[in-house]
Amino acid sequence: MRDWNPALYGRYEQERTRPAAELLARVPIEAPREVVDLGCGPGNSTELLAQRWPQAHIVGIDNSPAMLESAGQRLPALAFETGDIAQWQPPRPVDVAYANASLQWLDDHERLLPRLLDQVNEGGVLALQMPDNLDQPSHALMREVAALPRYAGALGDAARLRSRLLAEQRYYDLLAPRADVDVWRTTYQHPMADAAAIVEWLRSTGLRPFLDPLPDSERSAFLADYERRIAAAYPARADGRHLLAFPRLFIVARKRAPG
């Protein structure tokens, strides 16, 4: 895929940052020394970490040069590094490994989450939040449009770039043998001005695997076909706005000492 677009991503920063703040509020550590933001994006989540723990050594990790540049401009006093979360291994265990809306892009959570917990100190926390919206109309309609003859040849298996999450109970079982685990789900209802606003939100995230392979002319047509379906799936509410339902899964795991 093409690199991320920080400006487009940031148009709904307040809505995107709300779950990051709610995840952080449940992290039960007062004064960590080493904190990492896995998939830091443009630094909106990293800024929350720095505000809560100003004395900590905080590092943001991302694989997008554009996002890292944006984060560095936003928070020049912090460290940002190029990295692959799936292979991430710090020079020493950290006190907080925090991942806001990033791990859903990675496969094999059966191995990934225990491996991430390995990188956390005893008494430290692995905290993560992931969108769980692949079965929502917003994402089902992406796949529906992608299957149309006009686009299917170019897009192939684009829908497979993101896998479904495991069940909440499975995540608990993966981490509970070594950590005290808190798992919960929240479905946000975001008021949006119209169908075009919903599409704009999704262009910077979920739509990327479907749009990036298409030439400009076909990309515009795809968006028009998709927006028509979105307008039907998300009708106007009593105040004229349209509610975008957005389920997210949260996990906070505090690592226990062995034995």
pLDDT, one tens digit per residue, over 193-251 is 999 999 999 988 889 889 989 988 899 999 999 999 999 999 999 999 999 999 999 99
For CA atoms 172, 174, 178, 179, give the dihedral sign.
negative
Could you list the residue range(s) of the whole structural domain that residue 151 is in? 6-255
Residue 153 domain-assigned?
Answer: yes
Residue 1 domain-assigned?
Answer: no
pLDDT tens sequence across 164-204:
999 999 999 999 999 999 999 999 999 999 999 999 999 88
Q: How many structural domains does the chain have?
A: 1
Q: How far apart are CA 197 and CA 208, in angstroms?
A: 16
Kindly report the CATH number assigned to the domain that includes residue 243. Answer: 3.40.50.150
pLDDT tens sequence across 101-152:
999 999 999 999 999 999 999 999 999 999 999 999 999 999 999 999 999 9
- In sequence order, which residues have a C-beta less than 8 Å from that of residue 102 and are 6 or more positions away? 38, 39, 41, 85, 128, 130
Residue 218 domain-assigned?
Answer: yes
Q: Give the side-chain half-sphere CA count within 13 A for 21.
A: 10
Q: State residue 2's pLDDT score.
A: 54
Nearest to 69 by CA among 58, 80, 83: 80
For the chain, first and last CA: distance in Å?
Answer: 45
Residue 122 domain-assigned?
Answer: yes
Residue 4 has pLDDT above 50, yes or no: no
pTM of the model: 0.91
